[in-house]
Chains A and B, each alone.
Chain A
Amino acid sequence: MEDFDNITWDRFLELGRIVKAKTGKALVSYVGNEPDCIMIMLQSAGTWMFDEKGKPNLANNDVLKKIVTIYAQMIKEGICLTVTDWNAYIGSINSGTVASAVNGCWLVGSISAVKEQAGDWAIVNTPRLSNVKNAVNYSNLGGSSWMVMANSKNSGVAMDFLNKTFAGSKELYNTILPSSGAIGTWGPAADSDAYNKPVPFFGNEKIYTKIVGYSKNIPQVKYGVFNYEARDAVGVAMTKIIAGANIDTALKEAQKNVEFQMGY
């Protein structure tokens, strides 16, 4: 496991080649049209699909270009497997078709579903981009957020509620972790008992402590209102690139697409 901790994506690919040569299996999988991996890599580099002003930043985004190149390489060499949909994705992990998964911590629930694999899994941090300044081994993907609408009727009451529960109650996090597998990003939650328990499935490691520790290092990015449209455009661009299209052209088209959606 130490081989995979704190590594770069280049090293990840190297290890992937070894795994492929020895076992014939891919190291990781993703859903075909979803740019999950790219999102993970983007945030780990502290950038996003939109710039600070909220304009789409796809066509001239050097970081994105490097990311896309790495991802396409992984798929070309068979280190990364693309599957049709979410069920196939989980299936590939559960049935051992792929050796690892790089995703949000909420995947723990699905991975743990296969009892026979208990003890075979461990948690490490995300690979980082080697040729990008400020890139780290930490990122974020998905999860849920609570938002209080500024012009709602009882926003004060709502905020107070959230402050006392999700932003203030260790007991809440202590309860929902074992009962629902809900991992929170609230710092103090890490002190609670449930978070400090060793987890047998992962070789008796205290994975939750680890995860909360990681979360302190995640770079913050602004998603923007048109996040979903941009995600979609990047996904389409990725599909074209894998099929052989020029990276610059595909990203330019993606940018045009997002600008179109935003130009209502």
Chain B
Amino acid sequence: MPPVPETDTGVLSASGLPDSLRYTGNIMAGKKTLETTYKNAGWRFVMPAALFIFVLSFYPMVQAFFLSLQSGLANNLHFSGLRNYIRLFQDEKFLAAVRNVFIYLVFQVPVMLFLALILASILNDKKLKCKGLFRTMVFLPCATALVSSALIFKSIFALDGLANTWLMGLGILAEPKNWLQDPVWARIIIILTVTWRWTGYNTVFFLAGLQNIETSVYEAARIDGASPSQSFFKITLPLLKPVILLTAIMSTNGTLQLFDEVQNITAGGPGNETLTISQYIYRLSFVYNPQFGYAAAVSYTILIMVAILAFVQIKIGDKA
């Protein structure tokens, strides 16, 4: 007697055969076992990574939320409800940091993405020579550590640095300019550093997106008489929408959390003119008398801003 599969109900049906051997029941029962096996396997594949994220990202985030409901110095924390969040609006430093971060956002992200798009288009040209070399050089800045690029740019724009030496030599400047002590120029230099560092990264994404577009589409457009700019705006851009959205969200996320570059170039100065929210959190935790509860509340504002902006960008993406 052949072994009876576990899914049998153990009862013989009217035809005298166990469930597993009846025609209609057989295939279904067998499939169910396999399906379950596969389903379980699928979950086993997925669980380790998911667990890591739950334990090491979501759980600390929840802890941070409870922390944000407390006030006090160092370990002397007491419950204070939403007080930290209300205080935020009177905090001159926090408001300055938000203003700075939005300035960076508005100027740096579009410029960088636009630049990356143009670069990717050029690099995608089949007739381009030395493509590999150009591509490597464009991506090279991404291989540097953020602190390295910050240190290099700081040295170049120092009072006795390269920029001043050159500009004076060319006669454009009469005396060395204190770039990093000027609020406007300090921000420009930071935007410059961040753009230099990340354009290559976004270029690779756009390049990948462009390579997924079949050339036949462009051929058809050309035959129809479309000019290069027309085919760019009417064909390329819409097809690249998912990639543009992805890079926009990633860049926004990165800029809202900007820390390394600003910390190492201007440390937030002059005054509060280049301070970022992440820097303020760092100071609240490790520089001033530690106010971990308040710092946690400030960090949640970043989360809220990231979420809102991501939502807005997705909605714009849907409409466009």
Contact = CB atoms under 8 A, between A and B. Distances in A.
Touching chains A and B, CB distance < 8 Å: yes
19 contacts: A33-B270, A82-B178, A84-B158, A84-B178, A84-B180, A84-B181, A85-B154, A88-B159, A95-B160, A228-B287, A232-B288, A235-B271, A239-B269, A240-B271, A243-B183, A263-B87, A264-B72, A264-B291, A264-B294
A208 to B, nearest CB: 32
Given A226-B289, A235-B271, A84 B91 contact: no
A83 B159 contact: yes
B251 interface: no
B272 interface: yes
B72, B90, B271, B291 interface centre (most CB from chain A within 10 Å): B271
B80 to A, nearest CB: 9
Nearest to B180: A84
User: 7 smallest A-B Cβ distances: which pairs?
Assistant: A239-B271, A33-B269, A236-B271, A84-B180, A239-B270, A32-B181, A264-B71
B93 interface: yes
B279 interface: no
B193 interface: no
Q: How large is the interface on A (under 10, 10 to 19, 20 to 34, 35 or more residues)?
A: 20 to 34
Contact of A261 (B72, B181, B272, B288): B288
A32 B270 contact: yes
Contacts of A232: 288
B167 to A, nearest CB: 17
Contacts of B90: 260
Interface string B177-189: 0101101000000
A230 B247 CA distance: 41
Interface in B55-88: 71-73, 87
B92 A257 contact: yes
B250 to A, nearest CB: 31
B290 to A, nearest CB: 11
B91, B183, B272 interface centre (most CB from chain A within 10 Å): B272
Contacts of B270: 32-33, 239
Nearest to A91: B160
A106 B90 CA distance: 39
Contacts of B293: 264
Nearest to A225: B289
B267 interface: yes
A55 to B, nearest CB: 16
Contact of B267 (A33, A82, A239): A33
Contacts of A248: none
Interface of B: 71-73, 87, 90-93, 154, 158-160, 178, 180-181, 183, 266-273, 287-289, 291, 293-294
Contacts of B93: 257
Contacts of A263: 87
Contacts of B73: 264
Contact of B159 (A84, A229, A264): A84
A84 B294 contact: no
Interface string A121-145: 0000000000000000000000000
Given A32-B181, A229-B289, A256 B269 contact: no
Interface of A: 32-33, 82-85, 88, 91, 95, 97, 225-226, 228-229, 232, 235-236, 239-240, 243, 253, 256-257, 260-261, 263-264
A229 B287 CA distance: 9
A255 B181 CA distance: 23
Contact of B271 (A33, A85, A88): A33
Contacts of B271: 33, 235-236, 239-240
A218 B160 CA distance: 36
Contacts of A85: 154, 267
B269 A32 contact: yes
Contacts of A261: 288-289
Nearest to B93: A257
A264 B159 CA distance: 39
Nearest to A227: B289
A88 B294 CA distance: 34
Nearest to B270: A239
A253 B271 CA distance: 12
B92 A256 contact: yes
Contacts of A264: 71-73, 291, 293-294
A228 B289 contact: yes
A33, A91, A235, A260 interface centre (most CB from chain B within 10 Å): A33
A54 B214 CA distance: 72
B51 to A, nearest CB: 36
Nearest to A264: B71
Given A33-B271, A84-B154, A229 B181 contact: no
B71, B90, B269 interface centre (most CB from chain A within 10 Å): B269
Nearest to B157: A84
B100 to A, nearest CB: 13
A86 to B, nearest CB: 10
Contacts of A236: 271-272
